[in-house]
């Protein structure tokens, strides 16, 4: 017995030591991600100050920012895998009978682990080749040191997929997948063309059953390059290229600003302000809810964040004031992405970078279409408020003035963005950094809603987790898009469409259908990267202006979020409001058809976007 007790004691000490090691590693991940994201916000501000005072900025700052973007994205991807927060098709795993689930689970585990391991091997080869390069960041930091976060991240994700497998059987499949990735990557290259389409089909099925989106896109990219005899490092190379492109650092910076606003007291202040201003109107509370959601969707770039952050606050308010619960759920689900056409929308920035169109021109073109969507939803809210007899509050000038004064610092945020983008006072990255730093300052030091030590690190880690989930998709999607372009698939598709679709109107209608379907299944960022290279050449055949195409593209993808039965917003809303997806679909349908009319109007009336 004493030997058994000693063994048990040793085992307990080992487990406790392992837990402490994991906890330390997790704190290190969180700390590095938060520090990198905050550094991204502060460095451009310091650059502006140094340039103003000393006529000299920080040497190599663009390289530092691009490197920090890569680190934020892939440290965030590691955290997303730890927290099981990677993005999935249609919001998550399909409900399956237990017998079918037993078959699906090994497929999901094997596919996820094998693709992550393949991306690890490809990244390792890429970084190994870069050790021979003399290129540095800022004149002193070898570039391979920065790039090393790629294999580290994919290696950790691989290990976590193995550790998170449920049961010994799935864990054995995961380990088998790692061995298979190494085997095919190094020995069985001749079999790649034969395995290509069965493997891609298996990935698609795994994605439907719950594998992350990046597994589907990254796996397809790896397989296609592999079958063509191109080294699998091609996908990590493309990942690095998109991550260090000039506009990409704005995405984490504007997202950080949105998170800080949502987690602080800004939402309560804006709700109070819009209620005070519009509460005396018929449907005034619906107008207020729409405007608040549009404001936050503009900054966060992800509709799920808006629904999760504001749904719990606004739904009880709407219901308490007389709106039917179904209408309120539909309104909040629809408005979860309604601000994606306004500055500083991350989706607009990414489209601008991919399509090589001037960002200020694209934002100007999107203003009227975005406003039409907001006005349409507000008008529906007014009609509903009158129809059900929602009581109207008496307009109180003192309350309105007090709410306006309390919200003044928050209301300056979009002013800073607009002046920065359209006034030409700095680069877009500098504008994004100033916005994030400004929001951080007002939330910590003026309003004191957030504590600099207790709240800011927690919020930056949450933000980095979302960014990681998006960036890991963005990187592998760019690799897949590169393959499509290299294989001349967009050009071939454009020739086929030109031969079979004679009418510009018919082409636009087909484009609407395609983009709405894509918007159902994919997040807007990966959809832009994967689908745009296919659509852009076709649109040029029919004389569609790239900026008009951009507004059509984003408006349709936004509508795809609401399309029954698998639009992403429907799943976020079902989770937040604790309703079935069917109930949320029923509540959202009137808003879907209303916004569909606006999307068709945007599509077929170019004058709404392209103005002389």
Tell me the C-alpha distance between 245 and 49, whole Å.
Answer: 24
DSSP per-residue codes, 188-242: -GGGHHHHHHHHHHHHHHHHHHT-BHHHHHHHHHHHHHHHTT--TTHHHHHHHHH
Phi, then psi, of 563 in degrees rounded to 5:
-75, 120
**Residue 8's pLDDT band (cuts 50, 70, 90):** low
More confident: 199 or 93: 199
Interatomic CA distance for residues 45 and 128, integer angstroms: 34
How many CA atoms are closer than 13 Å to the CA of 384, on its beta-carbon side?
A: 24
Please list, in sequence order, all residues whose beta carbon lies within 8 angstroms of the beta carbon of residue 60, skipping any fewer than 6 positions away: 137, 138, 139
> pLDDT tens across 452-471, in order?
999 999 999 999 998 998 89
Q: How far apart are CA 83 and CA 559, in angstroms?
A: 29
Q: What separation in angstroms does the CA of 254 have from each of 87, 431, 438, 578?
A: 20, 9, 11, 30
Classified as helix, coil or strand, 137 is strand
pTM reported for the whole predicted model: 0.88
pLDDT confidence bin for 472, thresholds 50/70/90: very high
Chain segment 13-57, per-residue pLDDT in tens: 667 777 788 888 899 999 999 999 999 999 998 988 888 888 777
Closest CA to 483 of 251, 168, 222, 209: 222
- H/E segment holding residue 142: strand 141-142
94 band by pLDDT with thresholds 50, 70 and 90: low
DSSP string, 161-195: HHHHSSHHHHHHHHHHHHHHHHHHHHT-GGGHHHH
Q: Which tens digit of pLDDT belongs to each residue from 543-592?
A: 999 999 999 999 998 898 888 766 778 877 887 888 887 888 899 999 99
Which pLDDT tens digit goes with each residue over 330-374?
999 998 888 889 998 888 999 998 898 999 999 999 999 999 999
């Amino acid at each position: 017995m004493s030997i058994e007790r000693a063994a048990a004691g040793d085992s307990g000490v080992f487990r406790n030591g392992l837990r402490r090691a994991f906890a330390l590693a997790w704190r290190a991940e969180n700390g590095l991600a938060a520090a990198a994201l905050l550094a991204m916000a502060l460095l451009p501000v310091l650059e502006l100050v140094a340039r103003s005072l000393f006529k000299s900025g920080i040497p190599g700052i663009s390289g530092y920012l691009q490197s920090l973007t890569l680190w934020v994205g892939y440290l965030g991807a590691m955290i997303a895998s730890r927290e099981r927060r990677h993005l999935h098709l249609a919001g998550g795993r399909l409900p399956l009978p237990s017998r079918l689930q037993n078959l699906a689970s090994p497929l999901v585990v094997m596919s996820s682990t094998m693709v992550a391991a393949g991306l690890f091997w490809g990244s390792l080869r890429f970084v190994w080749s870069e050790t021979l390069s003399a290129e540095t960041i800022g004149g002193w930091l070898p570039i391979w040191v920065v790039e090393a976060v790629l294999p580290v991240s994919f290696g950790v994700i691989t290990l976590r997929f193995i550790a998170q497998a449920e049961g010994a059987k799935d864990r054995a499949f995961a380990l088998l997948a790692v061995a298979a990735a190494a085997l095919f990557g190094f020995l069985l290259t001749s079999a790649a063309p034969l395995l290509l389409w069965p493997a891609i089909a298996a990935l698609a099925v795994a994605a439907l059953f719950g594998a992350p989106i990046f597994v589907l896109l990254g796996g397809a990219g790896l397989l296609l390059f592999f079958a063509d005899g191109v080294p699998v490092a091609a996908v990590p190379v493309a990942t690095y290229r998109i991550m260090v492109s000039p506009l990409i650092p704005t995405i984490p910076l504007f997202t950080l600003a949105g998170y800080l606003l949502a987690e602080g007291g800004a939402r309560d202040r804006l709700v109070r302000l819009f209620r005070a201003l519009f509460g005396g109107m018929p449907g005034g509370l619906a107008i207020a809810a729409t405007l608040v959601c549009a404001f936050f969707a503009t900054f966060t770039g992800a509709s799920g964040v808006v629904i999760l952050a504001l749904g719990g606050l606004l739904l009880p308010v709407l219901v308490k004031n007389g709106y039917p619960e179904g209408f309120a759920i539909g309104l909040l689900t629809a408005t979860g992405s309604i601000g994606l056409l306004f500055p500083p929308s991350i989706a607009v920035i990414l489209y601008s970078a991919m399509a090589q169109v001037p960002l200020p021109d694209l934002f100007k073109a999107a203003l009227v279409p975005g406003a039409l969507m907001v006005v349409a939803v507000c008008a529906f809210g007014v009609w509903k408020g009158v129809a059900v007899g929602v009581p109207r509050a008496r307009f109180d000038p003192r309350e309105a003035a007090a709410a306006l004064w309390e919200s003044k610092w928050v209301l300056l945020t979009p002013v800073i963005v607009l002046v920065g983008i359209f006034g030409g006072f700095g680069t877009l990255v500098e504008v994004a950094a100033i916005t994030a730093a400004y929001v951080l300052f007002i939330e910590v030091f003026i309003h004191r809603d957030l504590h600099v030590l207790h709240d800011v690190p927690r919020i930056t880690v949450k933000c980095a987790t979302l960014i990681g989930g998006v960036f890991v998709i963005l990187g592998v999607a760019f690799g897949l898009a590169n393959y499509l372009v290299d294989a001349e698939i967009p050009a071939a598709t454009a020739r086929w469409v030109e031969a079979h679709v004679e009418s510009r109107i018919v082409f636009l209608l087909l484009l609407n259908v395609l983009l709405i379907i894509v918007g159902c299944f994919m997040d807007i960022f990966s959809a832009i990267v994967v689908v745009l290279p296919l659509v852009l050449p076709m649109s040029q055949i029919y004389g569609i202006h790239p900026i008009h195409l951009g507004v059509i593209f984003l408006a349709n993808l936004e509508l795809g979020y609401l399309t029954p039965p698998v639009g992403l917003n429907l799943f976020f809303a079902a989770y937040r409001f604790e309703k079935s997806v069917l109930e949320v679909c029923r509540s959202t349908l009137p808003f879907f058809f209303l916004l569909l009319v606006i999307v068709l109007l945007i599509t077929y009336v170019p004058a709404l976007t392209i103005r002389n």
